[in-house]
């Protein structure tokens, strides 16, 4: 490093610095100045990413925990709501012993072990009876056993006595014990943990005839929590590691009543042993000895209870001793959510408890270790890869060479050649610069010769005025509905004949064609020729809207269907009723939209968003696509049944390259149209301009031709449009023209000169990159032309080059290769 700063005699500090650098090899410069900064940047980036990734992983896990908690609370609320609906439905009719038994048997078949007990408390002992669920059977409890039972269902609470018809009270969790005697030949006792729902049975005159009691086996609520903590959880989207997870239910006063267990034993007795692990507090509450309430020092728990009492859900990070034992040192993600019960009906609901869900995930710790490992491997790999790249590409990746490349690029942008005047940096770049300058001198000499020859040719031919075929001569026999479809080639005649035949029917139609081939004009022509011509023609672009907006645009909505739905909206199906509906770019429709379209086309009825009523529609559906729907069906991106329903009547709009005879007709049509709109009088095309149009590949089809003609008419300064007035979309003004100003170079006498034929800017760029290759594929051409070159455009370019003898095609199918004629020719 000292030699870098050594000052030669008679030289200033900056000159000594530059002299020291010029003595270094390219490899040494890159090794010294690139590898250390890369190591530092990678290390710093890894540390920053570690901090932020852990932060966002914690955020994601917290949201997942809260989602799990809300799902469990909602599931319990749904279960309680179903029970409320059952008892209200039962209370609206006079109660009998047979009817109550039948309900218990029917609910056992429908809801399993949900209801453990049902009772009716009427006037007098003879009008009071109790049924319990015993295994798969329902049996009545003898009166003497009911009298001896602990927490008998025949004792109606004060809260239930004041209820009105249709109202339901929900009791606290109670333990019920039936003595073993009195059940016949097989004595057996009953120990139950129940939540009792009570509702009055009111007669028609308004008198309370009695009270219906329906008891929920709390183990079924416990099993809801167990399900969501098991691999069979409805929210289990991926396999989780074996961290401890636990859910428990507490009432609004903070008593923990039961916890989740394994699903393998659904009838296991209730327990809170794991939930109270590490906590201190009170054991047993009135009516239920298995309850546990943590003491006031456990602030995390009581913050959650306060939130539940206020009807709030949220997330807490647990205490060190809270919940089940830890597998590793990690923080708890604890979610809580209230559980509500609508005992009085309506929208108001009382809070009867809450669900607490504890999740101890090891993901942040695993991510931290993984990121450190990745950082180490990435840094080591980057250093090794960079050292290898420096050794291999030391003579390529250099600043002097890039400066030379910038100079050459500036010549291309300026559109003129000149010698490069740069100071010598090293021997290699100095030699390369002299070679380029010699080549530039030779090209300038050839350029002068070509300019003289081109001027003579243009003066004679390019300025010759051509008579374009007037489209009116062939359109007079057509229906006015077809006046926008210009052309008299065989392909257009076939299209017009097909349109007239299809318009005479009323079946749905599929229009297939590339972008810019007139699919929407074809659809409008079918509509104007059909019996529906006086009705609406509605067009929807399926590729311009996202899924929700497209569903709304197609099927409409009713007021209140969502927050922004301030009024009813007709969808396109109803708006086009009696007429025609065009579904453009149908291949971009999502699976959900495809399903909805299939059903609408099958039954000819739709349901607006937010409405339960279906509405019939009478519209002819025309679908259009610029992609191969069969390929989408094969790849699973498009429904096969929808494809076959749409393609009952299919019509193909031909590409402009398949109807070259129509280019003069279309050019004359668009030129007259532009002349009228711009008030420029009668404009004409020169022979050179028409030849330029005829030799273009037209990847944009008729739309590109129309834009090209209108652009030329708008910028024309004379009545005759010349070749230089024609600018294609891939070589707009400001870039090198596609014809007439090619940079000259030597050519071999026995081989055709590449530059004798007009090339687009894209073709020039791609061929310049492929000069040194013996042959290349279509994919190679795409990569050389730029990452945004579509496959179809590349195929058209190659066909054009083959037809003009610039490129030779070899092989067929996937093994097709292309080779430049002469192989070493240069395209500037």
Whether 640 has a pLDDT exceeding 90, the answer reads yes
Whether 71 has a pLDDT exceeding 90, the answer reads yes
Q: What pLDDT is stored for residue 790 in this prediction?
A: 78
pLDDT tens per residue, range 230-251: 888 888 776 665 557 889 999 9
Q: What pLDDT is stored for residue 303 in this prediction?
A: 92
Whether 108 has a pLDDT exceeding 60, the answer reads yes
Partnered with residue 115 across adjacent β-strands are 216
Partnered with residue 581 across adjacent β-strands are 538, 621
Decide if 518 contacts 474 (C-beta within 8 A).
Answer: no
Q: What pLDDT is stored for residue 794 in this prediction?
A: 82
Decide if 68 contacts 228 (C-beta within 8 A).
Answer: yes
Q: Note the pTM of the prediction, 2 decimals.
A: 0.47
pLDDT tens per residue, range 349-372: 899 999 999 887 666 666 667 777
Least confident of 4-8, 79-83, 699-703, 821-825: 4-8
* Residue 6, CB-side half-sphere exposure with 13 Å CA sphere: 9
Decide if 259 contacts 246 (C-beta within 8 A).
Answer: yes
Decide if 192 contacts 117 (C-beta within 8 A).
Answer: yes
Mean pLDDT of the chain: 81
Three-state secondary structure readout of 586-650: HHHCCHHHHHHHHHHHHHCEECCECCCCCEECCCEEEEEECCCHHHHHHCCCCCHHHHHHHCCEE
DSSP conformational letter for 25? -
Q: What are phi and psi of 638, to 5 degrees?
A: -135, 140
DSSP, collapsed to helix, strand or coil, labels residue 225 as helix
- Pinpoint the alpha helices (H) of 458-517: 472-475, 490-503
Q: State the DSSP string of 78-140.
A: HHHHHHHHHHHHHHTS---HHHHHHHHHHHHHHHTTSEEEEEEEESSGGGEEEEEEETTEEEE
> Shortest CA distance to 675 belongs to which of 726, 714, 703?
714
Partnered with residue 614 across adjacent β-strands are none
Q: What pLDDT is stored for residue 777 in this prediction?
A: 87
Decide if 723 contacts 740 (C-beta within 8 A).
Answer: yes
Question: What percent of the chain has a predicted confidence (pLDDT) above 70?
Answer: 84
Decide if 292 contacts 283 (C-beta within 8 A).
Answer: yes
pLDDT tens per residue, range 38-50: 778 877 887 888 7
Q: What pLDDT is stored for residue 319 in this prediction?
A: 62
Top pLDDT among 752 and 35 is at: 35
Whether 420 has a pLDDT exceeding 60, the answer reads yes
How many other CB atoms are found less than 10 A from the CB of residue 126? 8
Whether 200 has a pLDDT exceeding 60, the answer reads yes
CA dist., res. 698 & res. 431, Å (int): 43
pLDDT tens per residue, range 288-345: 989 999 999 988 899 999 999 999 999 988 665 566 555 544 567 899 999 999 988 7
Confidence band of 187 (pLDDT split at 50, 70, 90) = very low
Q: What pLDDT is stored for residue 780 in this prediction?
A: 85
Whether 578 has a pLDDT exceeding 70, the answer reads yes
Whether 735 has a pLDDT exceeding 70, the answer reads no
Confidence band of 734 (pLDDT split at 50, 70, 90) = very low
> Shortest CA distance to 192 belongs to which of 113, 97, 78?
113
């Amino acid at each position: 490093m000292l030699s870098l700063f050594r000052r030669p005699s008679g030289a200033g500090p900056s000159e000594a610095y530059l002299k020291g650098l010029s003595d270094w090899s390219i490899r040494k410069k890159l090794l010294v100045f690139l590898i250390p900064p890369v190591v530092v940047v990678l290390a710093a980036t890894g540390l920053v990413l570690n901090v932020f990734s852990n932060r966002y992983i914690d955020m994601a896990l917290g949201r997942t925990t809260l989602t799990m908690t809300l799902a469990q609370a909602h599931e319990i609320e749904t279960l309680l709501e179903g029970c409320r609906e059952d008892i209200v439905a039962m209370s609206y009719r006079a109660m009998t012993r047979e009817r109550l038994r039948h309900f218990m048997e029917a609910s056992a078949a429908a809801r399993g072990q949900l209801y453990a007990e049902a009772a009716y408390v009427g006037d007098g002992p003879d009008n009071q009876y109790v049924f319990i669920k015993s295994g798969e059977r329902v049996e009545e409890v003898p009166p003497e056993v009911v009298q001896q039972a602990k927490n008998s269902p025949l004792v109606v609470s004060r809260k239930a006595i004041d209820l009105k018809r249709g109202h339901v009270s929900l009791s606290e969790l109670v333990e019920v014990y039936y003595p073993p005697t009195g059940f016949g030949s097989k004595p057996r006792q009953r120990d139950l943990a129940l939540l009792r729902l009570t509702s009055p049975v009111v007669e028609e005159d308004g008198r309370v005839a009695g009270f219906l009691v329906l008891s929920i086996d709390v183990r079924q609520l416990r099993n809801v929590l167990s399900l969501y903590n098991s691999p069979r959880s409805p929210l289990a989207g991926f396999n989780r590691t074996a961290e401890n997870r636990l859910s428990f239910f507490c009432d609004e006063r903070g008593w923990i009543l039961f916890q989740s267990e394994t699903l393998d034993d659904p009838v296991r007795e209730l327990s809170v042993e794991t939930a109270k692990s590490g906590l201190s507090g009170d054991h047993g509450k009135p009516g239920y000895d298995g309850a546990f309430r943590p003491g006031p020092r456990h602030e995390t728990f009581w913050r959650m209870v306060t939130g539940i009492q206020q009807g709030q859900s949220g997330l807490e990070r647990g205490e060190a001793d809270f919940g089940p034992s830890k597998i590793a040192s990690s923080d708890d993600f604890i979610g809580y959510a209230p559980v509500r019960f609508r005992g009085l009906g309506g929208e108001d609901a009382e809070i009867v408890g809450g669900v607490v869900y504890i999740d101890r995930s090891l993901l942040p710790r695993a991510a931290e270790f993984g990121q450190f490992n990745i950082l180490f491997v990435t840094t080591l790999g980057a250093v090794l890869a960079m050292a290898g790249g420096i050794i291999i590409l030391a003579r390529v990746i250099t600043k002097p060479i890039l400066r030379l490349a910038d100079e050459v690029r500036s010549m291309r942008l300026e559109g003129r050649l000149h010698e490069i005047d740069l100071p010598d940096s090293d021997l290699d770049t100095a030699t390369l610069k002299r070679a380029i300058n010699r080549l530039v001198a030779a090209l300038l000499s050839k350029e002068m010769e070509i300019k003289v020859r081109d001027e003579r040719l243009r003066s004679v031919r390019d300025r010759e005025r051509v008579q374009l075929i007037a489209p009116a001569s062939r359109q007079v026999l057509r229906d006015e509905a077809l006046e926008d479809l210009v052309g008299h080639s065989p392909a257009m005649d076939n299209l017009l004949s097909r349109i007239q035949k299809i318009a005479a029917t009323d079946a749905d139609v599929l229009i297939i064609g590339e972008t810019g081939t007139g699919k929407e004009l074809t659809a409008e022509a079918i509509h104007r020729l059909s019996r529906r011509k006086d009705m609406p023609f509605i067009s929807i672009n399926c590729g311009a809207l996202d899924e929700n907006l497209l569903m709304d645009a197609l099927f409409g909505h009713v007021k209140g269907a969502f927050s922004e739905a301030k009024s009813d909206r007709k969808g396109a199906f109803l708006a086009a009723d009696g007429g025609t509906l065009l579904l453009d770019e149908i291949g971009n429709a999502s699976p959900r939209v495809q399903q909805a379209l299939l059903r609408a086309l099958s039954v000819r009825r739709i349901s607006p968003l937010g409405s339960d009523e279906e509405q019939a529609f009478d519209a002819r559906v025309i679908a259009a696509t610029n992609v191969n729907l069969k390929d989408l069906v094969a790849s699973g991106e498009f429904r096969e049944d929808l494809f076959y329903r749409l393609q009952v009547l299919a019509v193909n709009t031909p590409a402009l390259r398949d109807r070259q005879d129509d280019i003069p007709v279309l050019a004359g049509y668009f030129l007259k149209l532009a002349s009228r709109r711009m008030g420029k009088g009668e404009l004409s095309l020169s022979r050179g301009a028409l030849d330029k149009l005829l030799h273009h590949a037209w990847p944009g089809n008729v739309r590109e031709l129309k834009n090209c003609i209108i652009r030329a008419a708008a910028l024309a300064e004379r009545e005759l449009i010349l070749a230089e007035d024609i600018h294609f979309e891939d070589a707009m003004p400001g870039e090198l023209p596609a014809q007439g100003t090619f940079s000259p170079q030597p050519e071999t006498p026995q081989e055709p000169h590449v530059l004798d034929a007009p090339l687009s800017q894209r073709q020039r760029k791609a061929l310049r990159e492929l000069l040194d290759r013996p042959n290349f594929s279509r994919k190679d051409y795409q990569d050389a032309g730029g990452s945004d070159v579509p496959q179809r455009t590349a195929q058209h370019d190659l066909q054009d080059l083959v037809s003009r003898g610039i490129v030779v095609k070899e092989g067929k199918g996937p093994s097709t290769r292309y080779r430049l004629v002469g192989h070493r020719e240069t395209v500037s």
